[in-house]
Amino acid sequence: MKQFNVPIIYRSPLISAVKKKRKLEDKMKKDFIPALLDFGPLQVYLARHFGFCYGVENAIDIAFRTIEENPGKRIFLLSEMIHNPQVNADLLQRGVLFLQDTSGRQIIPFESLTDEDVLIIPAFGATLAIEEKLKAQGIAINRYDTTCPFVEKVWNRSFQIAEKAYTVIVHGKPTHEETRATFSRASKAGPSVIVRNMNDAMELGSIILGKRQPADFYTLFAGKYSTGFDVEKDLQHIGVVNQTTMLAADTQAIADFLKKVMIKKYGANEKTLERYFADTRDTLCYATNDNQSALYGLLETEADLAIVVGGYNSSNTSHLVELCEHRLPTYFINDENKIISALEIRHYDIHRAEEINTVGFLPTVSPVRILITGGASCPDALIEGVINKLAGYYPEGKTIAAILEQFTS
CATH code assigned at 68: 3.40.50.11270
User: Can you say whether the dihedral through the CA atoms of 121, 126, 131, 134 is positive or negative?
Assistant: negative
Residue 260: predicted pLDDT: 94
Q: What is the pLDDT of residues 217-243, one digit of tens each?
A: 999 999 999 999 999 999 999 999 999
Whether residues 278 and 219 fall in one domain: yes
Whether residues 121 and 167 fall in one domain: no
Query: Cis omega before residue 71 (within 30°)?
Result: no
Q: Is the pLDDT of residue 270 over 80?
A: no
Q: In this structure, are residues 381 and 84 in contact, taking their beta carbons and an 8 Å threshold?
A: no
- Helix, strand, or coil (residue 253): helix
- Count of residues in the chain: 409
Among 57, 131, 177, 178, the active-site one is 178
Q: In this structure, are residues 325 and 332 in contact, taking their beta carbons and an 8 Å threshold?
A: no
- Helix, strand, or coil (residue 274): helix
- Helix, strand, or coil (residue 44): strand
Helix axes 13-25 and 380-391, enclosed angle (nearest 10): 110
Q: In this structure, are residues 193 and 204 in contact, taking their beta carbons and an 8 Å threshold?
A: yes
Q: Is the pLDDT of residue 15 over 90?
A: yes
Q: In this structure, are residues 297 and 362 in contact, taking their beta carbons and an 8 Å threshold?
A: no
Whether residues 270 and 395 fall in one domain: no
Q: In this structure, are residues 372 and 379 in contact, taking their beta carbons and an 8 Å threshold?
A: no
Q: 178 is in which domain, residue-wise?
A: 149-284
Residue 1: predicted pLDDT: 60
Q: Is the pLDDT of residue 77 over 80?
A: yes
pLDDT band for 278, please (50, 70, 90 cuts): very high
What are the two backbone dihedrals, phi and then psi, of residue 392, each rounded to the nearest 5 degrees? -65, -20
Whether residues 275 and 155 fall in one domain: yes
Q: Is the pLDDT of residue 128 over 70?
A: yes
Is 203 assigned a catalytic role?
no
Query: For residue 42, which amino acid is it?
Result: L
- The total number of structural domains in the chain stands at 3
Q: What is the pLDDT of residues 168-202, one digit of tens each?
A: 999 999 999 999 999 999 999 999 999 999 999 99
Residue 277 lies in a domain: yes
* Domain closes at, from 229, 256, 284: 284
In whole numbers, what is the pLDDT of the chain averaged over residues?
94
Q: Is the pLDDT of residue 303 over 70?
A: yes
State pTM to two decimals. Answer: 0.90
Whether residues 239 and 306 fall in one domain: no
Residue 204, domain CATH: 3.40.1010.20
Over residues 300-315, the mean pLDDT reads: 96
Q: What is the pLDDT of residues 331-350, one digit of tens each?
A: 999 999 999 999 999 999 99
Residue 264 lies in a domain: yes
pLDDT band for 282, please (50, 70, 90 cuts): low
Q: How far is CA 318 from the centre of its chain?
A: 8
10-49: buried (b, 16+ CB within 10 Å) or exposed (e) per residue?
bebebbebbbeebeeeeeeeeebebbebebebbbbbbbbb
Q: How far is it, in rounded angstroms, from Cα 337 to Cα 386?
A: 8
Q: In this structure, are residues 86 and 379 in contact, taking their beta carbons and an 8 Å threshold?
A: yes
Q: How far is it, in rounded angstroms, from Cα 321 to Cα 312?
A: 10
